[in-house]
Structure 1
Amino acid sequence: MQATTLSFANLHNHGELFANILRARRESFIVRNNWKLPESMGMEFDQYDTPASRWLAVHDVDGRVLAGVRLTPTTAQCGVYSYMIRDAQNGLLSSIPDDLLFGAAPVDSGTWEVTRGFIVHDLPAAQRQRVRIRLVNQMLRTARTEGIGRMIALLPSNWGRWAGRCHLTMEPAGRNMNMGGIDYQAVWIGFASQMH
């Protein structure tokens, strides 16, 4: 099992891995969750898949993606869009309530957003925790490389059940919300204490 952080600067070094991440996202979000999202050539993508973002994947040696997330700096800007949570708060995304945060969405070079997190559905239960921890460790490595002190994410509200097992410092950033039959909550993920 391997973990890789992709950027537009290193995509060419990793063959089909980026396409495989987008294929796994399609399977997770469009096929399994029945979300209405953009797709093409069997891949899911959106307006936040820009050169500002990073894509983290846990994968096997053949390039099969087992889990992944996208990281986007809160300073990102592409046309009218910045990052998902801030755009939702500013009323640009009708699928997410604009009152999802307790305060204003940050715009800070040390804060990045985590989106499109998934673990493939057919992964045996005995491997899920190992894969989750591997993904979290890759997030920490990327945080060190990019100078990220904290992240903000919109997660299923059961985040507290697994955060401790993954050694993540997390706290609520907003209220619980039901979206599409699933309870979600915005959370802060702190990395500052692990940066040395």
Structure 2
Amino acid sequence: MQTTTLSFENMHNHGELFANLFRARKQSFIVQKNWDLPEALGMEYDQYDTPASRWIAIHEYGEVYAGIRLTPTVARCGIYSYMIRDAQRGLLGTIPQDLLFEEAPVDENIWESTRVFVSHTTPQRIRRRVHAYMVMAMLKSARELGATKIVALTAANWPRWFGRCGLDAEAAGRPMFIGDGDYQCVSINLSSKLH
């Protein structure tokens, strides 16, 4: 199993992996979860998939098992910045504005983690290992990008598995029902992991 952090600068080095990641996102979010999201050419995407973002793929032999998108909280593209902040600003009707306890950060050392998924085709026997790879890859990529903190919109059951994965995290917002389940914003501290 491999982890690859993709960017607009390096995607050409990885064949179909970038497209396969977006195809897996479509399967996960549009087909499985039935979310109303943009799609084209069999791929799911949105306004945050810009050159400012990075995408982490957990994959093997061309099959994408899981993925994560990282976006800097200083990102700007037209009226948009990053998903959590734009939801708080009322730009996204599908996510409640009161998703955070405080004002959304805008800081070059804070990155956002969204579009986190594990493919429904990922075999049950390797799911725990896939989760571990996701956490390690997210932490490594975020640190390499200069992040000391990650703000994430994740499943509200995060306390059950974040500790198991060794993440130093705390609730950054209230639990809320979005689309297909309960979600919550979480702040992940990376400063203790910077050794």
TM-score, normalization by structure 1? 0.97
Number of equivalences: 195
1: CA distance between counterparts of 2:74 and 2:22?
23
Residue correspondence of structure 1 range 2-151 to structure 2 within 5 A: 2-60=2-60, 62-151=61-150
1: CA distance between counterparts of 2:176 and 2:144?
33
Equivalent AA in structure 2 for residue 34 of structure 1: N
Q: Structure 2: which 5+ runs fail to align? A: none
Equivalent AA in structure 2 for residue 162 of structure 1: W
Q: Structure 1: which 5+ runs fail to align? A: none
Task: After TM superposition, give the deviation of residue 169 of structure 1 in Å.
Answer: 1.1
1: CA distance between counterparts of 2:143 and 2:121?
31
RMSD (Å), alpha carbons: 0.8
**2:65, 2:121 within 8 Å by CA — same for their partners in 1?**
no
Q: Which moved more, 1:48-57 or 1:134-143?
A: 134-143
Task: After TM superposition, give the deviation of residue 181 of structure 1 in Å.
Answer: 4.0
- Per the alignment, in what secondary structure is the counterpart of residue 81 of structure 1? coil
Q: Which moved more, 1:74-83 or 1:129-138?
A: 129-138
Task: After TM superposition, give the deviation of residue 178 of structure 1 in Å.
Answer: 1.1
Between the aligned residues of both structures, percent identity stands at 60
2: CA distance between counterparts of 1:180 and 1:7?
29
TM-score, normalization by structure 2? 0.98
**2:33, 2:180 within 8 Å by CA — same for their partners in 1?**
no
2: CA distance between counterparts of 1:141 and 1:171?
20
| Residue of structure 2 equivalent to 1:159 | 158
**2:24, 2:64 within 8 Å by CA — same for their partners in 1?**
yes
Task: After TM superposition, give the deviation of residue 143 of structure 1 in Å.
Answer: 1.8
Q: Write out per-residue CA displacement over residues 155-184 of structure 1, whole angstroms, 9 at most, x where no aligned residue.
A: 111011110111111110001111224111
2: CA distance between counterparts of 1:171 and 1:45?
28
2: CA distance between counterparts of 1:166 and 1:37?
30
Task: Summarize the Cα distance change of 1:181–1:27 in structure 2 as closer, same or farther, 3 Å threshold.
Answer: closer
Equivalent AA in structure 2 for residue 53 of structure 1: S
- Per the alignment, in what secondary structure is the counterpart of residue 80 of structure 1? coil
Equivalent AA in structure 2 for residue 186 of structure 1: C
2: CA distance between counterparts of 1:24 and 1:124?
15
Task: After TM superposition, give the deviation of residue 116 of structure 1 in Å.
Answer: 0.3
- Per the alignment, in what secondary structure is the counterpart of residue 114 of structure 1? strand
Equivalent AA in structure 2 for residue 98 of structure 1: Q
Equivalent AA in structure 2 for residue 152 of structure 1: V
Ranges of 4+ aligned residues in structure 1 off by more than 4 Å: none
Equivalent AA in structure 2 for residue 173 of structure 1: A
